[in-house]
Homo-oligomer: A and B are copies of this chain.
Amino acid sequence: MLLPERTVERLSEYRRSLLQWLEEGKTHIYSHELAALHHNTAVQVRRDIMFIGYTSMQRKGYDVKELVGVIEETLDSKKGLNVAVIGVGNLGKAITTYFVGKRSKLNIIATFDVDTNKIDRVMSGVKCYPMNRLGEIIRSENISIAIMTVPVDAAREVAKQLVEEGIRGILNFTTAPLRVGPDVYLEEYDMVTSLEKVAYFVKMADR
């Protein structure tokens, strides 16, 4: 059964809070506590968690460790997935540094750029390759996901290349809306839209 996108998002967010909860030495959590951390309702939390087959909430709440385990089984792939970052500007650097070592099941193992000054450099343990080695490295390193942080003008061409070389999922940080075939999962994130959203609600609150 394929979970809805929003459910996947929420489960990922719950896990983040649950791991923090564990770090703080807490072993149990109530649905309303988890809900409060995520601007959510306890009903929604219980529904999401029931959806992935975990129901053993007791008087003291969910067992945090167990729940993390169930979310892990649901979201993560057993062997882990290899990820490449395409475009090593400030954003590409931020993302690479940010992710390396953070989530053991998602490994950033290569970056790509067209700038010859960047090629062969190693950042946070990740090597930068030239774009003309994209297909070769995707295959040899078994990379299935690409994070796109290239300039907007290059976005469509790069996406086309990624799809041709067998990439299965793309996280697009450029402002260019992309089109990929049904075999590739595309997630687009536009910072301008997020900021415009904040600006709109600030403007409306000021009226």
Contact = CB atoms under 8 A, between A and B. Distances in A.
Interface of A: 2-3, 5, 8-9, 12-13, 16-17, 36-39, 74-77, 81, 83, 89-91, 93-95, 97-99, 102-103, 105-106, 144-145, 147, 168-171, 175, 177, 179, 183, 185, 187, 189-206
A195 B175 contact: no
A96 B9 CA distance: 27
A205 B190 contact: no
Contacts of A170: 198
Given A94-B94, A192-B103, A203-B81, A197 B12 contact: yes
A171 B198 contact: yes
B199 A106 contact: yes
B102 A192 contact: yes
A38 B5 contact: no
Nearest to A149: B94
Contacts of A83: 195
B91 A168 contact: no
A74 B201 CA distance: 11
Contacts of A185: 198, 201-202, 205
B16 A206 contact: no
A192 B84 CA distance: 14
B97 A90 contact: yes
Given A91-B98, A185-B198, A196-B8, A203 B77 contact: yes
Contacts of A198: 145, 169-171, 185, 187
Interface centre among A17, A102, A200 (most CB of B within 10 A): A200
